[in-house]
Chains A and B, each alone.
Chain A
Amino acid sequence: MSPEQDIPLWLALGVSILALLGAFLTLLGTIGLVQSFYQRIHAPTLGTSYGTASIVIASILFFSYVETRPVLHEVLIGIFITATTPVTLMLLGRAALYRDRAEGKDPVLPVDEQADAVFPITSSRPHRR
């Protein structure tokens, strides 16, 4: 943007607050990566939901004002991230659960039941095609 073309105060404040909020929530989500795996897998979704949403809204506001027409192509990123994050984390969580069970420990069961739990996965590996 050129310096002589100044933007109004409400736009500057709105875009600033949305961008700072989104960045702060994303930072909180990655700080949450310091736990055990099944607690850790929840944390980055703070960035993919609220962080992405507020930064996308900030971008839509700013470009709609600058180009003096509704600019909505950032919605594409929002929809895409919202639709794909559950799929990836679901697959990853199932893969992690499978790997834990293949090693003989089940993180879903309480500890005192783990000794006599039966893991059918360890006795016969799944068929590989």
Chain B
Amino acid sequence: MNTAILEWSLTIAQIMLGIAMLLATFRMVNGPRAQDKVLGLDALYVVAMLELLLFGLRSGSSIYFEAALVIAILGFVSTVALAKFLMRGEVIE
């Protein structure tokens, strides 16, 4: 009974995060300018990380936690590199 409550609310939360990922993907695909696309990518990876955390909560294993941590680290590095590219025209100078 209590497990059913948890399962259903986790499903609803995952659907909400899925809609959020769709909205961020929409902004990433047709943002009018380059910085809007980078912002959409940034929002997309954060939402994907939260979705993986909920997935691990649902399946009860901690493997998804490590995947979420990798997404968080690589997403930070990629957004910083893209912002640097927009600023200077090159990443490593």
Contacts and interface: CB of A to CB of B under 8 A. Distances in A.
Contacts of B14: 23
Q: Is the interface of A mostly helix, strand, loop or mixed?
A: helix
Nearest to B28: A33
Contacts, number: 174
Contacts of A51: 46, 50
Contact of A95 (B16, B35, B72): B35
Interface in B35-82: 35-36, 38-40, 42-43, 46-47, 49-50, 53-54, 56-57, 60, 62, 65, 68-69, 72-73, 76, 79-80, 82
Interface of B: 1-3, 5-6, 9-10, 12-14, 16-17, 19-21, 23-24, 27, 33-36, 38-40, 42-43, 46-47, 49-50, 53-54, 56-57, 60, 62, 65, 68-69, 72-73, 76, 79-80, 82-84, 86-90, 93
Interface of A: 1, 3, 6-9, 11-13, 15-17, 19-20, 22-24, 26-27, 29-31, 33-34, 37, 40-41, 44, 47-48, 51-52, 55-56, 58-59, 62-63, 66, 73-74, 76-77, 80-81, 84-85, 87-89, 91-92, 94-96, 98-99, 126, 128-129
